[in-house]
Chains A and B, each alone.
Chain A
C-alpha cells in the first residue's frame, strides 16, 4: 500500500470516529446522565438540560481526541464501546424506574 492510501484510510477512519463515534458517545452520556440523575432525584428537565450541555462539550473534546490520538483502535473502543455501554445502562435504569 502506498503511503497516500494509508493516509486516506486513516483520515476516513478518524473522521468517522470523530463524527459517528463521538455522536454515539455523546448520546450514551446524555442517556446515562438523564436516567441516572433522575433516579437519584434531580428534576427531569434539569438533568436533560445539564447533560445535553455537557455532552456537547464532551463531543467537542472527543472529536479533537479522535484526530490527536496515536492509536485508533483505542479511540473506536472508547467511543463506540463506551457509548453503547452507557446507553445500555440508561435503559436498565429506566427499566427499573418505569
Chain B
C-alpha cells in the first residue's frame, strides 16, 4: 500500500501524531507543571505557605489524629451497594493507617482504611483522608483544592476523566503513539546528527517550523522516549491487568508464598493489643539506614491491622538523594516494637523498575534537574505544537483553493490546545484567588472555571480562525497571546492583593514556592506579548505581500 518503509512511517507519524497530538500536548504541558505541583499548591492555598516539615512524631501528633478519624461520607456511600445489610454509624476497626510526606510538603496527608462489617468482599475497605499541620496536628480544611497535586497532576495522566478509567486509557494510547511518533520521526528525518543544531529562522515559514519541530524533538529525544515509556511502565499493571485477570490464581499462589517468606501477617489475630512507641521504631529504622550509608528521613509510615496483636508498622525511607524509588522498608511488630523484617536488597529487575519509575515520578531533591525536566517537557510541547503548525502550513493554500476546511479546523484546534490551554490554566489560578473563601465545594467551582474558560477559548479559536482560508495566520493566535499576558499579570496581582505576598516580600524572604510561581507567570506574560508582537509583524508583512501580488495580477490582466 505504501511504496516504501519511509512513506509508511511518514503516514503513521502525520496522522496518528495529529489525532493524539492534542492529548499529548495536555500530557506534556501538565506534566511539566506537575514537576512543581507542591509549589503550585502553596500558591493556591495561602494557609499552607510555610516551610516543609519532616514526618512528625507518631506518638504525640499522628496517633491522636488517626484515632479521631472516620471514613469519608463519599467512600461510605460508594461502598454501600457492596455490603449485605445496613452500614454502621461508626467504623471501629481501622485496618490501615498511613502518612506520607516529601521534602517539599509543609502539610501532611494522612489516610485511614476501615473494615466494613458484612462487606461482600471482606478485603475491601472504606477510606478517610485528612490534611494536617504537622507542627500541631491541627486539621486543615480538606475541601481546598490542591491545584498542583490534585488537579494538574492527575490531569497529566488521566485527563481527570474517570468514567470507566477512560482518561487513563486515552493517555496510555497517546503515550504509545508518542513512542511511535518518535521512532517514525527518526526514520523520516534521517539527518539526526547532521542537522542537530539546525534552526534557520530566516527561511520560509514552513522550513522554519519544521526546523523547530526537528530541533525540539531530536535534542530532547532521550527525554521524550524515556518519559513516554516510563509513563506506560508505571501504569502497565492497569493497561495489561494480566495478573489480576487471567493469571489471578497464579498471583494468589505467589501471595501466599510471599506472606510466608516475609513473616508479615496477612490476617488479624483477633486479639486486641496496644501499639508500642512508633517513634522508637522510626529511630531504629533511621539507625539501620544510616548504618547502610543511606541516612535519611521517613517518607511513608504505615500501620497494618491497627490495634491487633498481629499489627505491624512499616517505615519507608524518603528517596531524596537518588533517582530509584526505593523505600528500604523496615517492618516492626506493632505491639512489641521488634523488627520483623528488613526489605531485601532489590533484584536486578527491581532495580531497573525502580529507576524507571523514580525517574518519572521524581521524589529526589534536585532543583536543577527539576528545571531541566520542565525544559524537556516544554520542548515536547513545542515539538507537538510545531507539528500541528507544519500540518496546517503544508495544506493551507491547497485547502483554501479547494474550499476544504480541514486546515482551518486543525488550526483552530491547535490554538485551543496551545494558547487556550494556557488561558484555562491561568483561569483556574485566577478563580482560586477570586472565589469567596467560604463558598461550599469551592474546589469544584475552581475546576468548573478551568473547563469553562477552556471551552470559551475554543469557541474563540473557531470564531477567529477565519482568515486561515485566505492563507493568513489566524487572528485567534494573536488575541489569545495577549489574553495570556493579561491573565498572567492579573494572577500575580491577585495573589498580592488577596494574600499580601507580593514578589518583593517572597523574594526577600527567600520563599521560592510562591515567588517561583509568580516569576513563572510574569515570564509567561512577557513571552506571550513578544509572541503576539512577532505574529502581528509577520502577518502585516504577509498581508502587504499578498496585496502587492494581487495588484501585480491586476496590472498583468
Contacts and interface: CB of A to CB of B under 8 A. Distances in A.
Contacts, number: 89
Contact of A90 (B8, B246, B254): B246
B242 A30 contact: yes
Contacts of A27: 240, 242
Nearest to A87: B246
A58 B176 CA distance: 11
A79 interface: no
Interface size bracket, A side? 35 or more
Given A49-B353, A63-B180, A94 B240 contact: no
Interface string B1-28: 1100100110110000000000000000
Nearest to B237: A52
Interface string B489-505: 00000000000000000
Interface string B298-334: 0000000000000000000000000000000000000
A56 interface: yes
B19 to A, nearest CB: 10
A43 B347 contact: yes
B250 A49 contact: no
B253 interface: yes
B243 A91 contact: no
A67 B242 contact: no
Contacts of A53: 233, 236, 352-353, 356
A56 B179 CA distance: 10
Given A56-B236, A60-B176, A98 B349 contact: no
Contacts of B258: 44
B184 interface: yes
A30 to B, nearest CB: 5
Contacts of B349: 46, 49-50
A17 interface: no
B9 A67 contact: yes
Contact of A56 (B9, B233, B249): B233
A97 interface: yes
Of B1, B2, B350, the most chain A CB neighbours within 10 A belong to B1
Interface in B270-323: none
Contacts of B233: 52-53, 56
Given A27-B240, A27-B242, A56 B229 contact: yes
B247 interface: yes
Interface in A43-90: 43-46, 48-50, 52-53, 55-57, 59-60, 63-64, 67-68, 87, 90
B45 interface: no
B517 interface: no
Nearest to A6: B1
A31 B176 CA distance: 20
Given A46-B349, A53-B233, A38 B250 contact: yes
Contacts of B246: 31, 87, 90-91, 94
Contacts of A49: 349-350, 352-353
B183 interface: yes
15 contacts: A30-B242, A34-B242, A48-B243, A49-B349, A53-B233, A53-B352, A53-B353, A53-B356, A56-B236, A64-B12, A68-B2, A87-B246, A94-B249, A98-B250, A98-B253
A-B pairs, top 7 by smallest CB distance, nearest first, are A44-B254, A52-B236, A46-B349, A49-B353, A98-B249, A10-B1, A67-B8
